[in-house]
Amino acid sequence: MAEHSKLPFHGMDVRVEGTLEKQEGGFRFTRIVLRPSVSIDKQEDLERTQRLIVKAEKACLVSRSLASEIGIEPEIKVEEALAAAK
């Protein structure tokens, strides 16, 4: 999705945490939290990056196929801000 929107970024890492509960008929994931971490070049791309993360989650075949609650907690690192701090 980032490539299609021509959003320049340095890298992305996604951590996922799931809550597994025993229910009638066996165990089931009841909540999944996605924690994407994206490194972008410019502060001006921050809002666009946030929108793309939400859009990507909504378009995800796996997310749409799961019956559990899905949360998203993104972390976006702006490289220009990191370089200025050094």
Using one digit for the tens of pLDDT, what is the confidence trace for 10-27? 888 999 999 999 989 899
Torsion of CA 54, 60, 65, 69, to 10 degrees: -20
Looking at residue 66, its pLDDT comes to 80
Which three-class secondary structure state does DSSP give residue 79?
helix
Which three-class secondary structure state does DSSP give residue 26?
strand
Domains along the chain with CATH numbers? 9-85 (3.30.300.20)
Using one digit for the tens of pLDDT, what is the confidence trace for 25-72? 899 999 999 999 999 988 999 999 999 999 988 888 888 888 788 889
CB atoms < 10 A from the CB of 14, how many?
12
CA distance 57 to 46: 17
